[in-house]
Amino acid sequence: MKKKSSYEGLQKNIRTLHTPEIEVWKNQYADNRYIVHIDIPEFTCICPKTGLPDFGTIEIDYIPAKVCVELKSLKEYLTFYRSIGIFHEHFVNKFMDDFARVSKARWVKMIVKFNPRGGITTTVIREQGSCKG
């Protein structure tokens, strides 16, 4: 019989996970199309199978519309995941859903690269909206 992980079943409610709010501020240059690039070199979450920490880097590019993302609240949002067991793919989708919902950006692209574990590196990329026009 296969042993169950202590994190088994926690992935069912990822979409409804209550996270800290990402705050925004009014974009004074909403009439301009420009890209904001954010690098987060020290992201940490927990492997839902082993309970060990997963480390990764996050790159976000977005074209703001009426608001821009406030970075301190973004840092608090991401710090929340340090104690959360979550699959890499689930994290990127949850993060994009939350980021896109509050930023209402014209376009967002996230590249999340997790450090090697057992000789395997995972990179998850998600893009939403259009960077054209």
Catalytic residues: 47, 54
Helix, strand, coil % in the chain, rounded to nearest 5: 25, 40, 35
Partners of 92 in beta bridges: none
Give the Cα separation of 82 and 20 in Å (integer).
Answer: 13
Give the Cα separation of 7 and 19 in Å (integer).
Answer: 18
Give the Cα separation of 11 and 25 in Å (integer).
Answer: 32
